[in-house]
Structure 1
Amino acid sequence: MLRKFKIQHRLISTFLVVSVIPIIFLGYYAYQIYSESISDKLSKSTYQAVTLVNKNLLAELQNYQYLCGSISTNEFVQANLPKEGAQQEVDENAKEAAMDDIYRTIFPSHVVNVSIVDSNHHLFYELGFETISSQALEKAIQDVDKSAPYDGLTYIKTVRSYDTIVLGRKIHALNDSSVQIGYAFVFISNDLFTKNILSSVDLGTGSKLMIMGRDGSVLSANDKEVALGESYADPELFNLIKEQQAQGSHSFSAQVNHEYQQISYIYNKQVGWYLVSMMPYSYINSETNRITTSITMISLIIVLFCIVIISFMYNSIVKPIKKIIAFSNQISNGEFSNRIQDQHEDEMGVLSRKINSMVDEIEKLMHNQKLDQKRKRELELQMLQSQINPHFLFNTLNTLRWLAIINQVPVLSNGISSLSELLHSTILDQDEEITIGQEIHNLTHYFEIQKIRYADSFHFEFEIDEELLNCRIPKLILQPVAENAIIHGLSDHGKSIEITIKVQQMEQQIHIEISDNGKGFDTSLIHAPHNNKKLSGIGIMNVNERIKLCYGEEYGLFISSAIGQGTRCKIIIPIHE
Structure 2
Amino acid sequence: MIKASLKLASSFRNKMILIFFAITIVPFIVFAYYAYMKSIEGIQNANATFSMSYLQQAKANFETYLTQVNDRINDLIGNKSLQAWLDREPESQEEEEAFAVDMLALVYQHMPQVDALRVRVYPMRPSLYPNYMNTMGVSPQVEREAWFQASSESVVPTWHLTMPEQGLYGRPLLTYVKRFTGLNDRKPRGLVVTDLAEDHLRRFFSPSRRMEGQKFLIVGQDGTVLFDSNENEWTGRPVPSKRFMEISEKASEGAETLHMDGEEKLITYAKMNSEPWTVVSLTPLHAMTHPIKTMNNLLIVFLAIYLICSVGVVIYITMNFTQPVAKLVRLMRKLEKGEFDYKGPTSSREDEIGWLYRGFESMTRKIEALIDQTTLSERKKKELELQVLSHQINPHFLYNTLESIRWKAENHGRSDIGEMVSALGNLLRLSLNQGKDITTVGREVDQVKAYVQIEQARMGMPLRVLYFFDEDMLSLPFTRLLLQPLVENAIHHSIRDNFEKGKVILSGYVEERDIVIEIIDNGRGIPDSVLRQLDSEETDSKAGRRQGVGLRNVNERLKLYFGAGYKLSIETGAGMGTKITLRHPVLENEEPEEAGGIQNAN
Computing the radius of gyration over CA atoms, which structure comes out larger, 1 or 2?
2
Q: TM-score, normalised by structure 2?
A: 0.48
- Point out which structure has higher relative CO (alpha carbons under 8 A, 6+ apart): 1
